[in-house]
Amino acid sequence: MRLNPLLATISISSLAVATLPASQCTTGPVQCCNSVEKASSASVSKLLGLLGIVVDDVNALVGVTCSPITVIGAGGNSCSAQSVCCSNNSFNGVVALGCTPVNLNL
Ligand SMILES: *[C@@H]1O[C@H](CO)[C@@H](O)[C@H](O)[C@H]1NC(C)=O
């Protein structure tokens, strides 16, 4: 019995979608943040205070006003601000905690 070429095409393309490691953080999509600063910075600590967020590590990077980047490489998607991977994005992108800068242009 021959392999159905249509099914083969579908499984190859879904594999391609599933393997975009450079565009993904282990914690979810790469975030594009307007700014990324240490939790100890004046503007970020004020914001965290307003939101009632307690950050244990004052040297941890916090992203401010972030949105997820879900499509990389399709149509020149870019982040003109700072792209980061954040371990905690429980605040709908208003702030994201535990961020690590990533370079999307590699
Ligand atoms: C994210 O951080 C907030 C504030 O520290 C905390 O309440 C929340 O449980 C954290 N969420 C995750 C998934 O770690």
CB 14 within 8 A of CB 76: no
> What is the structure's pLDDT at 13?
42
Q: Which residue type, as a one-letter code, is found at position 86?
A: C
> What is the structure's pLDDT at 63?
97
> What is the structure's pLDDT at 6?
53
Kindly report, residue by residue over 7-47, the tens digit of the pLDDT. Answer: 544 444 444 444 444 567 888 889 999 999 999 999 999 99
Cα(96) to ligand 1 centroid in Å equals 10
Cα(104) to ligand 1 centroid in Å equals 26
CB 40 within 8 A of CB 59: yes
The secondary structure of the chain in percent helix, strand, coil, rounded to multiples of 5, reads 25, 35, 40
Model pTM greater than 0.85?
A: no
Rounded CA separation 25/63 (Å): 15
Sequence spans of domains, the chain:
20-103
> What is the structure's pLDDT at 23?
60
Kindly report, residue by residue over 40-65, the tens digit of the pLDDT. Answer: 999 999 999 999 999 999 999 999 99
Q: Which of 45, 90, 94, 99 to mutate to test the pocket of ligand 1 (most atoms within 8 A of CB)?
A: 90
Kindly report, residue by residue over 55-104, the tens digit of the pLDDT. Answer: 999 999 999 999 988 755 544 456 888 999 999 999 999 999 999 998 87
Rounded CA separation 7/67 (Å): 35
